[in-house]
Amino acid sequence: FLSIYRIIIRRSLIGYCAKGKHKRYAVFIGGGNNMQMLYEEMESSLASIYEVVGYFDIAPNATFSSQCLYLGNPDGFADFMSGKTDIKHIFCSLSMDQGRYNVSITNYCENHLLYFHGVPNVSKEFPRRIWHSMVGNMPILNLRYEPLSKMENRLLKRLFDIMLSGIFLITIFPLIYFIVGIIIKLTSPGPIFFTQKRTGLNGVEFKCYKFRSMKVNEEADSKQATVNDPRKTRFGDFLRRSNIDELPQFINVFKGDMSIVGPRPHMLAHTEIYARLIDKYMVRHFIKPGVTGWAQTHGFRGETKELSQMEGRVKADIWYMEHWTLLLDLYIIYKTIANIILGEKNAY
């Protein structure tokens, strides 16, 4: 049964990719023989989803395919990529004496939501542990292992999200909305929902829903809530401590903007600030944000007064991304419910 399942999935993917859909644009760094082989694999395979824009190298390689454009010296990589939002995949294979480029290129990729793939002959120059994958018959090295990069895992997580959020939205949520909505309207002027643009999967903005727990104010999109925040309403304080204010985000989950479990989405102003201050901060956006997450159930919830607190949250989010399983999601949901029942000191 497992063999039949894999054959069906493989043939389905080959047929889908052969139609030219879901193309991913890529850039090569290095023009050696192994990159020429990789280029031929990508061009010849019906299952290839990559389209190579061109390659960077110290000098043009006369033996490299003339159909692949020479883009210049690797020093010009960052300038070339500036503004190129459609190119997401970087394949790097520089010789040993050109290894000085590796660290700057990998850092640029991780801080600008680019997927970095190292072609094996530069493995000794990589700054961290790496993981192996294949493109046709060519081995590829990736900076990190991501279970959710596999289509079957993304599908499983999405089905889980739709099922749980759908059941919640048609059963319990209407009653909660009716009761909470009436109290919000009676205790404070303004809308029932508070909506805010936040950073989602691959850095894409989305509108996040919450029950309004504060008075309508101009600092809502730039200032975090504090323990004795004067903007909070009396009923809003209860909503935040009980986590009820987060329940409308199940609408985001059902729509596909969020997942039930994942890194908490940050307001746009904070994403812009922390992307400059914290190395690899943007890595957390390779997966969908969540209503709850590993970081929130392990002491990284609420206001981040110190930069080290946000660094800890980012490390926890990346750990979750690299260790995802459905059982881990169920454990995090259990921990979240337990924390709600027992109370959290950082819930305000």
At residue 337, the 3 state secondary structure works out as helix
Among the candidates 143, 173, 193, a domain finishes at 143
Do 67 and 8 lie in one domain? The reply is: yes
Band of the pLDDT at 242, cuts 50, 70, 90?
A: confident
247-258: buried (b, 16+ CB within 10 Å) or exposed (e) per residue?
bbbbbbbbeebb
Is position 348 within any domain?
no
Which helix (H) or strand (E) segment holds residue 291: the answer is: strand 290-292
pLDDT digits (tens, 9 = 90+) for 125-182: 555 667 777 877 777 878 888 899 889 999 999 999 999 999 999 999 999 999 999 9
Mean pLDDT of 204-233: 79
d(CA 343, CA 93): 51
Percent of the chain with pLDDT over 70: 89
Tell whether 347 is covered by a domain. Answer: no
The more confidently predicted of residues 182 and 119 is 182
Encoding tokens for residue 155? Answer: 């599908």
Residues 220 and 323 in one domain: yes
CA dihedral 286→292→298→303, nearest 10 degrees, is: 90
Q: Rounded to the nearest 10 degrees, what angle do helices 151-171 and 326-342 cross at?
A: 40
Q: Within 10 Å of residue 131's Cβ, how many Cβ atoms?
A: 13
> Is pLDDT of 121 > 80?
no
Higher pLDDT, 21 or 64: 64
- Does residue 137 sit in the same domain as residue 171? no
Higher pLDDT, 105 or 218: 105
Whether residue 233 sits in one domain with residue 157: yes
HEC profile for 222-280? CCCCCCCCCCECHHHHHHHHHCHHHCCHHHHHHHCCCEEECCCCCEHHHHHHHHHHCCC
- Look-up of token digits 């294949």: 134
Average pLDDT, the chain: 86
pLDDT(346) > 60: no
- C-alpha 90/C-alpha 54 separation (Å) is 11
Residues 77 and 186 in one domain: no
What amino acid occupies position 229? D
How confident is the model at residue 260, as a pLDDT? 97
Residues 13 and 39 placed together within one structural domain of the fold: yes
The mean pLDDT of 321-348, rounded to a whole number, is: 85
Among 55-59, 191-195, 200-204, 221-225, whose mean pLDDT is lowest? 221-225
Residue type, 254: F
* The model's pTM: 0.76
Residues 135 and 41 in one domain: yes
183-187 average pLDDT score: 91
Q: What is the torsional sign of CA 224, 341, 251, 299?
A: positive
Quick check: helix, strand or coil at residue 296? Answer: helix
Does residue 134 lie within any of the structural domains? yes
Choose the weakest-confidence range: 19-23, 36-40, 106-110: 19-23
Residues 156 and 83 grouped into a single domain: no
**pLDDT attached to residue 123:** 46
Residues 157, 139 share a domain: no
More confident residue, 217 or 289: 289
Per-residue burial over 46-77, b = 16 or more CB atoms within 10 Å of its CB, e = otherwise: eebbbebbebbbbeebeebeeebeebbebeeb
Q: Which of 119, 143, 167 is the last residue of a domain?
A: 143
260 vs 13: which has the higher pLDDT: 260
Q: How many domains does the chain have?
A: 2
Considering the domain architecture, whether residues 240 and 320 belong to the same structural domain is answered as yes
* pLDDT digits 0-9 by tens, 19-37: 766 778 999 998 777 888 8
Query: Percentage of the chain with pLDDT > 90?
Result: 48
Q: Are residues 173 and 193 in the same domain?
A: yes
User: Could you read off the pLDDT of 259-285 as tens digits, one per residue?
Assistant: 999 999 999 989 999 999 998 999 999
Say if 121 falls within a structural domain: yes
Together in a domain, 226 and 327:
yes
- Looking only at the bridges linking them, the beta strands covering 138-142 and 115-118 are antiparallel
Ramachandran class of 60: left when φ > 0, alpha when ψ lies in -120 to 50, beta otherwise: beta
Q: What CATH number is given to the structural domain containing 138?
A: 3.40.50.720
* Dihedral sign from CA coordinates of 292, 298, 302, 304: negative
H or E element: which one contains 38? helix 33-44
Where is the domain boundary, 104, 121, 143? 143
| Mean pLDDT calculated for residue range 316-335 | 95
**Dist CA 288 CA 115 (whole Å):** 16
What is residue 348's predicted lDDT score, i.e. its pLDDT? 47
Beta bridge partners, 206, equal 198
DSSP 44-96: H-TT--EEEEEEE-SS--TTS-TTSEEEE-GGGHHHHHTT-TTEEEEEE---G
Does 108 reside within a domain?
Answer: yes
Q: What is the mean pLDDT of residues 225-254?
A: 84
Average pLDDT over residues 50-63: 88
Residue 11 domain boundaries = 2-143
